[in-house]
Structure 1
C-alpha cells in the first residue's frame, strides 16, 4: 500500500501544495496533520506507524515533513525501514528502496552524527573554558547550617514542609533529597 503523509506546523497553514504533489504521484491512503514538527510524538505520525505494514511505501512531499530535527527525521525513517517500509520523498528525490536512495539516507545519518558530535565537542570546550576561568560548575553547594536547621525543624514535627522551606530557604527537592539520604544511611547502619 502507498501511504501519503502531509504535515504543516500550524492551523493557519494549508496543506494544498503538499497534497497537490502527492496527488500527482498517487497513493492509497492519506494521513495529514497540522502540528509542529519539533515534537516527535504526534497524532498523525502515530497514525502512520499504526497503519504501515511490511512492504508498504510512505510518500512525503519533503523529508522535512517528518520532523524539524535531523535526528528525529533519521530515526523515523529508520523505524519505518525496520518495519519493512520504504520511504519516498518527492522534493529530495529520495527513495530508500533504491541503492542511491539508501546511500543518500546513510549520508544524512553521517551528517547528523557529525552534527551531534560537534555539539558535544562545543559544549565540552565551553565547560573546560569556564572551569579554567574559575567558574564553579554544577549545583551550588547548600549551606550546611540551613540543611541542619531544616532537618531539625522536620524532626520536631511542628512544621510543615512548606514552613520549613520558607524558614530555611532551601528548596523542597533539597529537603526531600537530604531526608532520603539520611534514611538510606540509617538503613545501612541498621543492616550492619
Structure 2
C-alpha cells in the first residue's frame, strides 16, 4: 500500500471577525502549505474549535505551520503543550518567523530553550504572587478579590466567565483520551456504561461529568450533537453485546480473555446470569454483533 504523502498544514488566526487572514495565508502558501485552516478568536483563549479539529485529524509526518508563534499559542507553556500533542501523533511544528522547526536539530534546541524559559516564567509568577500576598497581609488587607467578597455582580460575572474558560481548557486538554471512546459508544450505550469502560482505562469519570463535558464539546462545535441523543432501551443481551463491542472498539488489540476480565471487573453478569466470563461468551457476542452489522466483519 502506498504511504500517504506528508503535508504542510497552515494555521492562520486573527483576533476578531473583522480582521482578515489573507496576509498570513499568502505567506503560508509561499512555503508550500497545501492545506490552510482559518480561526477567528482571541489569543488569550485556548477555546479554539478549528485548532482542536486540526489537532485531532493531523497525521503522522504532517507539519503544522504558523507565520508567528503568537498566532498559535497564548503563552510558552501553551505552545509546549500543543507541540507535545503533535509529537505524540508523530507530527511536527514550524513557525516561519521564529527559529522553531521540530523536524530539525536546531529547531528542537530552540524548543528546549523555550521550555527552560517557561519553567522560569512559572517560578517568577509564583514568587511574585507569594510576595504580593505577604505585602498585602502586612498592610492589613485581606487576600482575594474585594468585588467577589462583596458579591458585586460585575465581579461575579467575570469570575464565572473565567471559570467557564478554565473548564473549557481542561476539557480540550484531555479530550483525546476519552472522546474517541465516547464517539464509538454513543448513543448505543448509556453514560454509565461508558464511564465504567473509561474507568478500566484509568480515567476517572462519573456519568454526569462525562455528559457535561460532551455537552460543552457539542456547544463549541467540536463534537456531533448526536452523541447527546437518548440511548435506546435494550434487552439485557443486546446491552451486553454493544458493551463488548465498545470495549473491543476502544482497544482492538485486547484478547477475548482480556475483554472477559474487564467485564468481570465491571461486575457485568453473563447472558446466563453468571459472574465468571469465558472467552467463548465474549466471542459469541462479538460474532452476533458482526452478523447484525454492529461490528465490521
Q: TM-score, normalised by structure 2?
A: 0.44
Contact between 1:64 and 1:73, CA under 8 Å: does it hold in 2? Answer: no
Q: Is the 8 A contact 1:59 1:87 kept in 2?
A: yes
The CA deviation at 1:77 is: 1.6
Cα separation, partners in 2 of 1:61 and 1:131, compared to 1, 3 Å: same
- Superimposed CA distance per residue, residues 120-174 of structure 1 (whole angstroms, 9 cap, x where no aligned partner): 101101112223344444799xxxxxxxxxxxxxxxxxxxxxxxxxxxxxxxxxx
Which residue of the partner structure matches residue 35 of structure 1?
A: 41
Of residues 79, 82, 90, the one that matches 1:76 is 82
Q: Secondary structure at the match of 1:32?
A: strand
Whole-Å separation in 2 of the counterparts to 1:97 and 1:60 = 14
- 1:31·1:47 contact (CA, 8 Å) conserved in 2? no
Q: Is the 1:10–1:36 contact (alpha carbons within 8 Å) kept by the matching residues of 2?
A: yes
Q: 2:21 aligns to what? A: 15
Give the 5 Å matches for 1:61-100.
61-100=67-106
Alignment CA distance shift 1:136-1:22 (3 Å): closer
Stretch moving more, 59-68 or 131-140: 131-140
- Out of 110, 114, 117, the residue aligned to residue 120 of structure 2 is 114
Structure with the bigger percentage of strand: 1
CA distance in 2, matches of 1:135, 1:33: 43
Q: Distance in 1 between matches of 2:133 and 2:68?
A: 37
Secondary structure of residue in 2 paired with 1:71: helix
Greater gyration radius: 1
Checking the alignment, whether the CA contact within 8 Å between 1:57 and 1:87 is kept in structure 2 is yes
Q: Which one has more relative contact order, counting CA pairs under 8 Å at least 6 apart?
A: 1
TM-score by length of 1: 0.67
Q: Name the structure 1 match of 2:9.
A: 3
The size of the alignment, in residue pairs, is 140
CA distance in 2, matches of 1:32, 1:71: 23
